[in-house]
Amino acid sequence: DAGITQSPRHKVTETGTPVTLRCHQTENHRYMYWYRQDPGHGLRLIHYSYGVKDTDKGEVSDGYSVSRSKTEDFLLTLESATSSQTSVYFCAISGNNEQFFGPGTRLTVL
């Protein structure tokens, strides 16, 4: 299995608070991705990174920011969480023409 972990695995937070989710890989892959998964919408790309300090927006980037200061870590930040950001968040890395997904983070914004 690809070495990819996410933390925390579950989080409950209040509207308006900042939240940071962490994705860590041990595969030294260049590309990393953040998705959110909601019923009826499948997996939607939030942001992705193609190298240290190199990031780009995905389909649903509003309200999210990312940072990648090291190859192994990709952080997703919700500056001011809203209830519409309640979702399951998956991180993925890309290698050999396939994406490997982390275990996911279930985020609930009250």
Partner 1 sequence: QQPVQSPQAVILREGEDAVINCSSSKALYSVHWYRQKHGEAPVFLMILLKGGEQKGHEKISASFNEKKQQSSLYLTASQLSYSGTYFCGTEILGATDKLIFGTGTRLQVFP
Binding site for partner 1 (CB under 8 A): 31, 33, 35, 40-45, 48, 50, 58-59, 90, 97-104
Among residues 41 and 70, whose Cβ is nearest to partner 1? 41
Residue 15 or 84 with smaller CB distance to partner 1 = 84
Q: How far apart are CA 80 and CA 96, in angstroms?
A: 36
Beta bridge partners of 7: 22
Residue 2: exposure state from Cβ atoms within 10 A (0-12, 13-18, ≥19): middle
Report in angstroms how near the CB of residue 13 gets to partner 1 at its nearest.
21
Residue 110 CB, nearest approach to partner 1 (Å): 22
Which lies closer to partner 1 via its Cβ, residue 14 or residue 42?
A: 42
Q: Which is nearer to partner 1, 16 or 108 (CB)?
A: 108
**Least Cβ distance, residue 75 to partner 1 (angstroms):** 18
The C-alpha atoms of residue 34 and residue 61 are separated, in whole angstroms, by: 10
Question: Is 61 in a helix, a strand, or coil?
Answer: coil
| 3-state SS assignment for residue 31 | strand
